[in-house]
Amino acid sequence: MSVEILFIHPGDHKKTYQDLSKEYTAIATPAWTLLLANYVRKQDFQVAIYDANVEGWEPSVAEELILKYNPLVIVMMVYGHNPSASTQTMPAARKIAKDIKSYNKSIPVAFGGIHPSALPDRTLREEVIDFVIQGEGAETIAGLIKYLKGTVDIGNVKGLWFWKDGEVNSNPPANIVNNLDEELDGYAWDLLPDLTKYRAHNMHCFQDFHKSQKNDFSDIRSPYVAMNTSLGCPFSCHYCCINAIFGKPNIRYWSLDKVVSWIDELVLKYQIRNIRLDDELFILSPERIDKFCELIIERRYDLNLWVYGRVDTIKESLLPKIKKAGINWICLGIEAGNERVRLGVNKNIRRDVREVVRSLQAHDISVLGNYMFGLPEDNIDTMQETLDLAMDLNCEFANFYSVMAYPGSRLYEDSVAKKISVPDRWECFSQLSQQTIPLSTNYISGAEVLRFRDEAFYRYHSNSRYLDMVEEKFGPSVRKHIEKMLNLKIERKLLRGEAY
């Protein structure tokens, strides 16, 4: 079997999440790769996908894949569960590229995604690859295949970075996809090995844990799909790198008819119930949310949906319909408890967060609160304000992040311009790895930030008020599950004073 393009989805869950990878983290479908794979096969190119996150990776796999598919080009779109996960996935992509080139140097390898798009020149120079695909990638990948087949000149492939005569060259940026329904009209789920190999986050299924027949709850977390119904974000928070791939702050939508047709396929063909809608802001337009819920409700699907929203985009009158449609979890970017700290990174929350969280919970919608420690104006006192707010809100789960200056973000640009130390090894940008090195603030070190973050995560989830609430809402099995999670120790070299 020969294909024009082999997509490899890179990743190493064990290194990225340590022992949490065994039971607690999600294994998400590679949404962007699936969109691009469907795009290029519509142009009559043969396509295959290998997902290292579910199939694993050893050096011998490079030989197996090349012999099986004989690809014209291998493409890795480097990203993860969220935009910031692109940088932390770079070490896995690097290893795969090295293994491919060790077996056969002549096979072209290209990297795309947020991190390579933010640092295309550096990526091309540092990695053993031939091309960088800057931007969304659809037009660029199709053009790259045509170039390798000898039908177009390399200078006409927009968005491509490449080597020529020993120098790095680049072409003008590719256009963004404006007509999503026509150009990126579907996900190539059929190219994945088995959707039962993907699993939802543990908390995504808390309300269903009582149905499980296994101690690890894997039977209710799979099958699972992560997908988008829009691209981009209209906001410009300084810590976010999303617009490195999509350009200026903006949001583009697929039609709801298209979105619901995908959900029809997932439910009726693949028996999918657990879906995370990965839009940066799924809950933004009240009219769109209202119509989406109506379309889902009339189908009477038993869905378990997770979506993202801002505190100030939640419309209370829609909450009954949101719940009825199966949106059981809304993830809110609360970020910081101190307004000055939030405004310092252009995060302006124009609603009372307590009022919004209480309203969601009153409608039996669980809240995943996202919080950040180590924003530029943070000190120990302001980080304590954030933890105090989190414990007061008592959301059904909380993500606590150490602030990183991710390539493609305003925070990264500012740090480089001000000569603030930024890790030079990409594994140090991983939130839960041994190598994590957060950004220092204007007042405290990255080590102080990391220590506070790890202690805050334990304090929040071991708090009796939280555990009592979880047990009352989800049952004793979920409480035991969380207590078991807290027994896992996350190793941190920075906190042990070890060299990298």
DSSP string, 284-310: --HHHHHHHHHHHHHHT---EEEEEE-
Per-residue HEC secondary structure of 325-358 comes to: CCEEEEEEEEECCCHHHHHCCCCCCCCCHHHHHH
pLDDT in tens, the chain (500 residues): 899 999 999 998 788 888 888 888 889 999 999 999 999 999 999 999 999 999 999 999 999 999 999 999 999 999 876 767 899 999 999 999 999 999 999 999 999 999 999 999 999 999 999 999 999 999 999 999 999 999 999 999 999 999 999 999 999 999 999 899 999 999 999 999 899 999 999 999 999 998 887 766 778 999 999 999 999 999 999 999 988 888 788 999 999 999 999 999 999 999 999 999 999 999 999 999 999 999 999 999 999 999 999 999 999 999 999 999 999 999 999 999 999 999 999 999 989 999 999 999 999 999 999 999 999 999 999 999 999 999 999 999 999 999 999 999 999 999 999 999 899 899 999 999 999 999 999 999 999 999 999 999 999 999 999 999 999 999 999 999 999 999 998 999 999 987 66
Domain stop point among 170, 205, 230: 170
Residue 188 lies in a domain: no
Residues 364 and 427 in one domain: yes
Residues 104 and 204 in one domain: no
CA-wise closest residue to 320 among 343, 298, 290: 290
Residue 182 lies in a domain: no
Residue with tokens 């037009």: 139
Look at residue 233 in the predicted model and tell me its pLDDT.
92
One-letter amino acid of 216: D
CA-wise closest residue to 361 among 454, 470, 251: 470
Look at residue 247 in the predicted model and tell me its pLDDT.
79
Look at residue 80 in the predicted model and tell me its pLDDT.
73
pTM > 0.85: yes or no: yes
Residue with tokens 């290194």: 15
Look at residue 13 in the predicted model and tell me its pLDDT.
77
Handedness of CA 313, 318, 323, 326 (dihedral sign): negative
Residues 118 and 212 in one domain: no
Q: Which residues pair with 397 in a beta bridge?
A: 368
Residues 281 and 387 in one domain: yes
Residues 490 and 381 in one domain: yes
Residue 333 lies in a domain: yes
What's the structural domain count of the chain? 2
Look at residue 21 in the predicted model and tell me its pLDDT.
81
Residue 112 lies in a domain: yes
Q: How far apart (Å, rounded) are the C-alpha atoms in residues 318 and 363? A: 10
Phi, psi torsion values for 246, nearest 5 degrees: -100, -5
CATH of the domain at 346: 3.80.30.20
Q: How far apart (Å, rounded) are the C-alpha atoms in residues 230 and 246? A: 11
Residues 15 and 139 in one domain: yes
Residues 369 and 247 in one domain: yes
- For the chain, state the CA radius of gyration: 22
Residues 105 and 19 in one domain: yes
Residues 151 and 23 in one domain: yes
Residue 175 lies in a domain: no
Residue 107 lies in a domain: yes
Residues 131 and 241 in one domain: no
Instruction: Find all residues with CB under 8 Å of 496, minimum gap 6, and list them.
Output: none
What tokens does 146 get? 């045509």
CA-wise closest residue to 171 among 236, 120, 223: 120
Rounded to the nearest 5 degrees, what angle is found at the Cα of 108, between the Cα atoms of 170 and 226?
Answer: 85
Residues 122 and 18 in one domain: yes
Q: How far apart (Å, rounded) are the C-alpha atoms in residues 114 and 126? A: 16
Calculate helix-pair angle for 59-69, 85-103, nearest 10 degrees: 70
Residue 183 lies in a domain: no
In this structure, are strands 47-51 and 73-78 parallel, antiparallel, or unpaired?
unpaired
Look at residue 500 in the predicted model and tell me its pLDDT.
62
Contact (Cβ atoms closer than 8 angstroms) between residue 221 and residue 213: no
Domain ranges, residue 143: 5-170
Helix (H, G, I), strand (E, B), or coil: what is residue 62?
helix
Residue 285: is it exposed, middle or buried by C-beta count within 10 angstroms (0-12/13-18/19+)?
middle
Domain stop point among 111, 135, 170: 170
CA-wise closest residue to 415 among 402, 425, 428, 406: 406
Residue 186 lies in a domain: no
Residues 257 and 165 in one domain: no
CATH of the domain at 46: 3.40.50.2300
